Amino acid sequence: MTDFAHRDHAALLTRIRFALETPNDLEPAARAALIQDIAIAEDRFAATPLPWPIELHGGVIENRNGVNIYAAPDAETLASEIAAYCRCWWAETGDDRDPTHLADEEVIKAYFDDHACESYIVDQIRVAPSATLAVAPRDRLEQGRYCVISTVHLTAQTAARLDDWASWPPTDRPIDIAASVYGWFVPTRPIDDDRQPHLPDDILRVIAFGRERGFAFVLLDCDGGDVDGLPVQNW
């Protein structure tokens, strides 16, 4: 999957769906290959906002006030945006027709035919990821996602514990948390059996909540929103 593209990603999603639907039919080698391909796709998405080439439709309107620039994913959407500009200034054309009852192409043609001082051009542009994009090996780069939820999902006693633990040396903490301005980052990795008895039930529920949804961390923040599936505490 070195030449990653939109169709490759769609094919990968299909393979993942089949693997989830019939997990017992997947041979060990095929499972290992699928996991590797998922890892490569994760790296691509983490390294660049543009993992595959895309086609953009661009337009420029030159008018007495300057230049208006438009970009859209397809020609129809671009025409709709340019036509919206034309309808906004339609009264200047002297055309008695109602532009809201005209097709976009007709509105555009009529508007610019009547405006010698204004013009427009459209073009199609292909935008590709950088050819020099370098993805760090996964064994050297740890990646993850986090979600933000409210501290109301903790009791006041647990919140006080987290404040206390955050000031301890990392090796002494029951979990490797980090304090933020208004809360704490909590990792969602599985807790060792010998540490679980030292953790309150509410923080264990938060960790399980984040891990089940694919997040590497949960940010407990006083300004975060409350979520379904976790008890809400009043304090």
DSSP state, residue 160: H
Beta-bridged to residue 178, according to DSSP, are: 185
The string of pLDDT tens digits covering residues 71-83 is 999 999 999 999 9
191 and 233 Cβ atoms separated by less than 8 Å: no
- Between 109 and 6, the higher pLDDT residue: 109
Query: What pLDDT is attached to residue 209?
Result: 92
Over pLDDT 90: what percentage of the chain? 45
Query: What pLDDT is attached to residue 143?
Result: 55
CB count within 10 Å of CB 156 equals 11
The string of pLDDT tens digits covering residues 142-194 is 555 789 999 999 999 999 999 999 899 888 888 888 888 889 999 998 888 88
**Which residues have a Cβ under 8 Å from the Cβ of 116 and sit 6 or more positions away?**
none
Query: What pLDDT is attached to residue 136?
Result: 47
The string of pLDDT tens digits covering residues 9-45 is 888 899 999 899 988 888 888 888 888 888 888 887 8
Quick one: which H or E segment has residue 123? strand 119-127
DSSP state, residue 223: T
Q: How far apart are CA 155 and CA 167, in angstroms?
A: 19
The string of pLDDT tens digits covering residues 201-224 is 999 999 999 988 888 899 999 989
Q: Of 139, 149, 178, 134, nearest to 46 (Cα)?
A: 134
The string of pLDDT tens digits covering residues 131-142 is 555 544 545 455
Quick one: which H or E segment has residue 87? helix 75-88
The structure's pTM equals: 0.47
Mean pLDDT for the chain? 86
Site of tokens 């030159």:
62
What is the rounded average pLDDT of the residues 46-67? 86
Query: What pLDDT is attached to residue 46?
Result: 77
Residue 86: pLDDT above 90? yes
Query: What pLDDT is attached to residue 33?
Result: 87
Q: Of 120, 117, 122, 82, nearest to 103 (Cα)?
A: 82
What is the rounded average pLDDT of the residues 121-139? 69
Q: How far apart are CA 78 and CA 84, in angstroms?
A: 10
